[in-house]
A and B are shown apart, each in its own frame.
Chain A
Amino acid sequence: MENEYYPWGGEFTVCSPNGCVAVVILNVNYSPFDKVAIYGPLKTENIGIEKIVANVISNPHIRYIVVCGDDIRGHRSGSSLVALNKNGIDEQHRIIDAPGAIPYIENLNNEAIDRFRKQIEIVNLIGVNNKSDIDKAIEDCIVKSPSSFGEPYIAIRITPEAAIILDDKRALHSKIVMNYMGKVKKRGE
């Protein structure tokens, strides 16, 4: 049941369901104590960030994200997450002023982004690798004991479901067809 709060599966660890802190671990070997709500790594500045957003706004108890460790070289995903929280996205869905290579948010609507920016305060510990410093920042958030943001917001739900869809009999792909021996040609030619 605890994963009900987190609609987009991934490599995260769920701890206290009513915790107010989510921890984003960049390039650092660190695991937080179990009073946090959820923690996990962030690698990419697009889908990785989308997953985090979806999985924190679905748990209204989470009010802080502590981002720690050295940023991911090139991707700059930690700084891009901070930029999303601070600036939002432009009309092209690009995170405004994000330093990452491809910082686009494509699978979440504007309402979800707004909700993320309102619900979450980011504690920017990018570049901080020391366990006690990170622990302390998390404790400081917990001590504030913020109230819940209200109802969960489910921006996207990606749950596996076994299904066989037999009404689509296209071989390989809509753009190509293949004969029984493996000769490929464009569909319709």
Chain B
Amino acid sequence: MFSFTKEQEILDISGIKIGGQPGLYPTVLFGGLFFKGEPDFDSGKKQLQNMLDLSKKTGNPAIPDFFIRKEDYVEDIINFIEKTVPKNHPFSIDIIEPSLKVKTLEYLDEKKLLSRTIYNSIHVGIKDEERKALKKHTPEMAIIVAFNPRDKSPDGKIEVLQNGANLTDTGLLDIAKKLGIKKILVDTAAMAPGDNSGASIAAIPVIKEEYGLPTGCAIHNVVEKSKWLDNFKSARKPVDASSNINIPLFGGDFAIFGPMIHADMVFPIIAWQDILISEYTENYFGIVPDDSHPRRKLF
């Protein structure tokens, strides 16, 4: 459990606070909505409502993370967001294909949703067309993934943020700022098991002390990629959900915890962890938790 010397930025998106000293604000939880093939919006709506209810109960802010994998679904998914995500509630969009990123940004702008959008994500693979689209249709907030294929250690992650590690013309933080993105979250890029996966956790306090930016990761990806866990079928979900406790424990601010259907398990686990951390950080560092903190809700 840590406290940082560097001043910590607290970012606000539609009333949700992310960042700061550990123990001040609850860990923000991004739950993913994946659609296999044709989007099943009825199921999506139920999952979203369940996650928002859990957020209300625990105090941990919930941000739905929408995966868009096909051009045909861009408009449908954004229309669903507009209709179903509560007004003024933030959401993130997670897209891999560069051309889809452009189309999605354009449509979000058309729908006037960019002020609630968290762009997931900017990384060293950023292309010119993506830069142009981001400059023209700038989202309120973006996640920068500190993935460095040359060096997966915390140093390598800092290198891509700072100078692009010769993979981009300049550091990723600089790129985001030049594009006009003012609110930046850093994702420490969780790797596969056996590939320095622990570095994404170790990098959290390093990056927070270096930049003071809200930092987190999708540590559950490590569990998801494990084949070894197939030997323990009933343990997979609890291991996946509980892997997220490492993030607040190492001073992190947000967890991209995977499929929204895991919310039932993840929210109470993280709320509990936030309480544990807050009890220490208040006693030793004088960090009095915000009113929204799980410690205020559950005790």
Q: Residues on A close to B: CB < 8 A?
A: 9-11, 43-44, 46-47, 73-75, 92-93, 100-102, 104, 106, 158, 172-176, 178, 181-186, 189
Closest to A40 in B: B227
Determine the chain B residues whose CB is within 8 A of the CB of A75 once the complex forms. 96
For the complex, is B150 an interface residue (Cβ under 8 Å from A)? Answer: yes
Q: Residues on B close to A: CB < 8 A?
A: 1-6, 69, 95-98, 123-125, 147, 149-151, 154-155, 158, 166-167, 191-192, 194-195, 202, 205-206, 208-210, 225, 227, 251, 280, 284-285
Q: How far is the CA of A175 from the CA of B227 in the complex (A)?
A: 34
Q: How far is the CA of A102 from the CA of B189 in the complex (A)?
A: 13
CB pair B155–A174 under 8 Å, yes or no, is yes
Give 25 pairs: A residue, B residue, CB < 8 Å, sorted on A. A10-B194, A44-B192, A47-B191, A73-B96, A74-B95, A101-B96, A101-B98, A101-B123, A102-B124, A102-B149, A106-B149, A106-B151, A172-B202, A172-B206, A174-B155, A175-B154, A175-B206, A175-B209, A182-B1, A182-B280, A182-B284, A184-B2, A184-B208, A184-B209, A186-B210
CB pair A175–B158 under 8 Å, yes or no, is yes
CB pair B69–A73 under 8 Å, yes or no, is yes
CB pair A74–B202 under 8 Å, yes or no, is no
Q: Nearest Cβ in chain A — how far from B6, in angstroms?
A: 7
CB pair A185–B284 under 8 Å, yes or no, is no
Q: Which of A93, A100, A101, A176 is B205 in contact with, Cβ under 8 Å?
A: A176
CB pair A102–B123 under 8 Å, yes or no, is yes
Closest to B148 in A: A106
Q: Nearest Cβ in chain B — how far from A31, in angstroms?
A: 14
CB pair B2–A47 under 8 Å, yes or no, is no
CB pair B150–A189 under 8 Å, yes or no, is no
A75, A100, A182, most chain B CB atoms within 10 A = A182
A93, A104, A178, A185, most chain B CB atoms within 10 A = A104
Q: How far is the CA of A186 from the CA of B207 in the complex (A)?
A: 11
Q: How far is the CA of A44 from the CA of B206 in the complex (A)?
A: 26
Q: Nearest Cβ in chain A — how far from B282, in angstroms?
A: 13
**Known pairs A102-B149, A104-B149, A172-B202. 6 more at Cβ < 8 A?**
A43-B225, A74-B69, A93-B150, A104-B167, A173-B154, A182-B280
Q: Nearest Cβ in chain A — how far from B244, in angstroms?
A: 20
Q: How far is the CA of A172 from the CA of B209 in the complex (A)?
A: 12
CB pair A47–B96 under 8 Å, yes or no, is no
Q: Nearest Cβ in chain A — how far from B32, in angstroms?
A: 14
CB pair B210–A175 under 8 Å, yes or no, is yes
CB pair B206–A183 under 8 Å, yes or no, is no
Q: How far is the CA of A71 from the CA of B58 in the complex (A)?
A: 40
CB pair A92–B98 under 8 Å, yes or no, is no
Q: Nearest Cβ in chain A — how far from B49, in angstroms?
A: 28
Determine the chain A residues whose CB is within 8 A of the CB of B155 once the complex forms. 174-175
Determine the chain B residues whose CB is within 8 A of the CB of A174 once the complex forms. 155
Closest to A102 in B: B125
Q: How far is the CA of A154 from the CA of B195 in the complex (A)?
A: 19
CB pair B194–A9 under 8 Å, yes or no, is yes
Known contacts A11-B227, A74-B97, A106-B150; decide if A92 and B3 are in contact (CB<8 Å): no
Determine the chain B residues whose CB is within 8 A of the CB of A189 once the complex forms. 5
Determine the chain B residues whose CB is within 8 A of the CB of A104 once the complex forms. 124, 149-150, 167
Determine the chain A residues whose CB is within 8 A of the CB of B194 once the complex forms. 9-10, 158
Determine the chain A residues whose CB is within 8 A of the CB of B209 once the complex forms. 175-176, 184-186
Q: How far is the CA of A37 from the CA of B112 in the complex (A)?
A: 54
Closest to B3 in A: A183
Determine the chain A residues whose CB is within 8 A of the CB of B125 once the complex forms. 100-102
Q: How far is the CA of A183 from the CA of B5 in the complex (A)?
A: 7
CB pair A73–B2 under 8 Å, yes or no, is no
CB pair B205–A184 under 8 Å, yes or no, is yes
Q: How far is the CA of A9 from the CA of B280 in the complex (A)?
A: 41
CB pair A92–B150 under 8 Å, yes or no, is no
CB pair A182–B2 under 8 Å, yes or no, is yes
Determine the chain B residues whose CB is within 8 A of the CB of A9 once the complex forms. 194
Determine the chain A residues whose CB is within 8 A of the CB of B251 once the complex forms. 184
CB pair B195–A183 under 8 Å, yes or no, is no
Closest to A101 in B: B125
CB pair B154–A183 under 8 Å, yes or no, is no
CB pair B97–A184 under 8 Å, yes or no, is no
Known contacts A46-B149, A75-B96, A102-B147; decide if A92 and B167 are in contact (CB<8 Å): yes
Determine the chain B residues whose CB is within 8 A of the CB of A92 once the complex forms. 166-167
Closest to B4 in A: A184
Determine the chain B residues whose CB is within 8 A of the CB of A176 once the complex forms. 205-206, 209
